Amino acid sequence: MKTLPIIEQHFHGAYGVDFNKAGVKDIVRLSEKLYEIGIDGFFPTIVTDTVENTKRQISVIKEASKECDGILGIHLEGIFLNSIKKGIHNAKNFLALTVENYKKLEDEFIKIVTLAPELDDGLIQYLKNKGVKVQAGHCIGWRGGKLKPDGVTHMYNAMSGVTHRSSSTALSALLDDSVYTEVICDGVHVYDDALKLLFRTKPKDKILLISDALPITYSEQKIAFFADSRIHYDGKTATSDDGTIAGSTKLLPEIIKILGKKGLFNPKYIENSYEYHGIKPKGQLIWDEDFNIIGRK
């Protein structure tokens, strides 16, 4: 099987590297490791933090991008979320969804912003005018019309779910064929039947595989601090002290293996990231029948 090289548009780090804390050299080394396993491009994802720390890390990531072309921009997943669906994020650092607040940390290298559309106070239109991808996440819904998002962040997780008595983020994502939908297929975050519902309902060209990987991924750490929380990794799942599931502990090549063994993988789920971001592909990955990457072309 052949696919385009993998683009990872939503992950917080790996091999012990945390995009909210890492230095330039750490990120460059991580980029090299990612290329080795088939990930050619990625959007370092910054979790909710103070404005000061967020601005610092934006500068660090931009500097790292000068040394490696795999960094495609920043995914800001934080600060503009709904505390009701905060997940692992620290709600103390949340800001109202206003243009004024966004300008406190605005940078042209921010390419994706995850936010809670139901709390919007002019920010969505501003981001769209700037060409920034707007994704609904850590939220309970979105408004219709021109203000609907471009995408949905980690489908089913940290959002209002499928229900028969009211509208919800998950229902809107399933039914709106124009909206791209991220999904974590690590075998932990989404039950297989829910995955099958998504794959059957959404157009195949609107599904985006992501890992949402944590910095603890592929490291020797069993306990780490992330998003102001202590994270425990038991070999399968990473959770906070209160049991909240944090991000994934697998990167996309491994997740693709999991999907492949279940008969649920479709190469479109990789190709779609190129279309979504308007990126021209470079080469191909070659996979064996067990979904191991065995070469490049």
Domain range annotation of the chain: 2-296
Give the DSSP H or E segment for 75: strand 74-77
- Structure confidence by residue, pLDDT tens digits, 34-79: 999 999 999 999 999 999 999 999 999 999 999 999 999 999 998 9
Q: Residue 167: which of 145, 141, 185, 197 has the closest Cα?
A: 141
CATH class of 2-296: alpha beta
One-letter identity of residue 124 = I
Report CA torsion sign: 254, 87, 154, 212.
negative
- Structure confidence by residue, pLDDT tens digits, 131-154: 999 999 999 987 655 678 999 999
**Parts of the chain with a pLDDT under 50:** none
Model pLDDT, residue 147: 77
Model pLDDT, residue 146: 62
Model pLDDT, residue 148: 87
Half-sphere exposure of 287 (CA within 13 A, CB side): 20
Is 276 in contact with 133 (CB distance < 8 Å)?
yes
- Structure confidence by residue, pLDDT tens digits, 238-253: 999 999 999 999 999 9
Q: Residue 184: which of 1, 6, 11, 4 has the closest Cα?
A: 11
* Paired sense of beta strands 238-240 and 229-233, if any: antiparallel
Q: Which residue has the tokens 């060209």?
A: 205
Is 161 in contact with 170 (CB distance < 8 Å)?
yes
CA trace torsion 22, 25, 27, 32 (10° rounding): -150
Is 276 in contact with 283 (CB distance < 8 Å)?
no
